[in-house]
C-alpha cells in the first residue's frame, strides 16, 4: 500500500524539507492530548508547528463522537469532508507528524490508508526532529487556499471489530499484538480510563509501542523484522490493539516497515474489550 511518490511509509526530516516546493504536498500535525509515557515528552502546549502545516484533530473532527468509545474511525463521508477542509486532494502527498515523535501521527497515516489514500507518510521523529534539525517553526495558522477534492475509497479490512479479534485470538495463523505498556498488559498498572478491567486478551502478545522506536524515531527495518519474529514467529496475519486504537497504529507502522502487509487495527481496542462483558480477560 505504498506509492511511488513515497517509497516507504516513513519520511525523514531532510526528505520532507526537499519536498517543500511540491504543490501536491500537504503537511498535517496530528493533534491529540498525550497520555501515559508520551505525556512526559510532548510539548503539547507549544503553539509552534511546521510552517504551512494544518491541524488534523484526532480528539475532534477526526473521531466518531456518535460512539461512546474514544478515537473511533469516523464514517467515510465525514472523513472525506474533514480532509477536504484541510485542503487534501486526490493527488495530495500527505505527510503527518506529531509533537512526540511517533505517537498519534501513525493513527492518521492508517486512517488515510483505510480511506484508500496511498500517498501518505509519517514524519520520522515528528516535530522534535524538525526542531532538532534547525528548521523554523511558525505560530501562524496555515492558510487553506481552497477546499480539496479528496475522495474516500474505504479499504474494507483496515479496521476490525471485537468479533474479528475474538476469532483471531483462536486462529494459529493470526497474532494479536497489544501496544500498551507491559504494566497495563499484565494488569499491574491501572488503566487511564475509568471502568475498564485490567489485564489482556487471552493469547495476545505484548509489543509496547515504545519498543519499536528509539527517541521518537522508528527502528530500522532489520531491527523491526527481528523484533516481530521474536514476538509472532512465522505468523504473517497481524491484528493490533492498544488503549484506544491510536498507538496500535505505531505498531502497525513498524510492522509495515518490517515487511508485513496483512495487517488490521482493532478500532475499539481495550476501551471496548476491557469493559465489563463476557469477553475473556487474563488478569
CA dist list (Å): 103 to 4, 156, 237: 25, 24, 23
End-to-end Cα spacing for the chain: 37
140: burial class by Cβ within 10 Å (0-12, 13-18, 19+)?
A: exposed
40: burial class by Cβ within 10 Å (0-12, 13-18, 19+)?
A: exposed
Query: Catalytic site residues?
Result: 242
Q: Tell me how far apart the alpha carbons of residues 79 and 117 are, in angstroms, rounded to a whole number.
A: 12
Residue of 40, 74, 42, 39 lying closest to 57 (CA atoms): 74
Long-range CB contact pairs, 254-257, < 8 A, 24+: 254/212, 254/213, 254/218, 254/219, 254/224, 254/227, 254/228, 255/224, 255/228, 256/1, 256/9, 257/8, 257/9, 257/10, 257/218, 257/221, 257/224
DSSP calls for 6-27: BSSSEE-HHHHHHHTT-TTEEE
Amino acid at each position: 500500500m505504498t506509492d511511488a511518490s513515497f517509497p516507504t511509509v516513513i519520511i525523514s526530516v531532510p526528505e520532507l524539507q526537499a519536498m517543500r516546493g511540491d504543490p501536491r504536498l500537504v503537511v498535517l500535525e496530528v493533534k491529540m492530548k498525550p497520555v501515559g509515557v508520551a505525556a512526559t515528552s510532548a510539548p503539547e502546549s507549544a503553539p509552534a508547528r511546521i510552517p504551512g502545516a494544518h491541524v488534523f484533530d484526532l480528539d475532534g473532527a477526526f473521531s466518531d463522537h456518535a460512539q461512546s468509545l474514544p478515537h473511533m474511525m469516523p464514517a467515510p463521508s465525514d472523513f472525506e469532508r474533514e480532509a477536504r477542509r484541510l485542503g487534501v486532494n486526490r493527488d495530495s502527498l500527505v505527510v503527518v507528524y506529531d509533537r512526540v515523535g511517533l505517537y498519534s501521527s501513525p493513527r492518521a497515516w492508517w486512517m488515510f490508508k483505510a480511506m484508500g489514500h496511498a500517498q501518505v507518510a509519517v514524519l520520522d521523529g515528528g516535530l522534535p526532529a524538525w526542531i532538532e534539525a534547525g528548521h523554523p517553526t511558525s505560530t501562524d495558522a496555515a492558510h487553506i487556499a481552497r477546499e480539496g477534492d479528496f475522495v474516500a475509497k474505504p479499504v474494507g479490512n483496515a479496521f476490525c471489530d471485537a468479533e474479528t479479534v475474538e476469532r483471531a485470538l483462536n486462529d494459529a495463523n493470526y497474532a494479536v499484538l497489544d501496544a500498551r505498556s507491559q504494566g497495563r498488559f499484565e494488569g499491574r498498572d491501572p488503566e487511564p480510563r475509568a471502568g475498564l478491567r485490567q489485564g489482556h486478551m487471552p493469547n495476545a502478545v505484548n509489543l509496547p509501542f515504545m519498543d519499536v522506536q528509539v527517541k521518537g524515531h522508528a527502528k530500522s527495518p532489520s531491527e523491526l523484522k527481528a523484533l516481530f519474529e521474536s514476538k509472532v514467529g512465522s505468523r504473517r496475519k497481524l491484528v493490533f490493539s492498544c488503549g484506544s486504537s491510536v498507538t496500535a497504529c505505531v505498531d502497525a507502522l513498524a510492522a509495515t516497515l518490517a515487511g508485513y502487509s496483512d495487517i488490521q487495527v482493532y478500532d475499539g481496542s481495550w476501551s471496548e474489550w476491557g469493559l465489563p462483558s463476557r469477553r475473556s480477560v487474563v488478569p
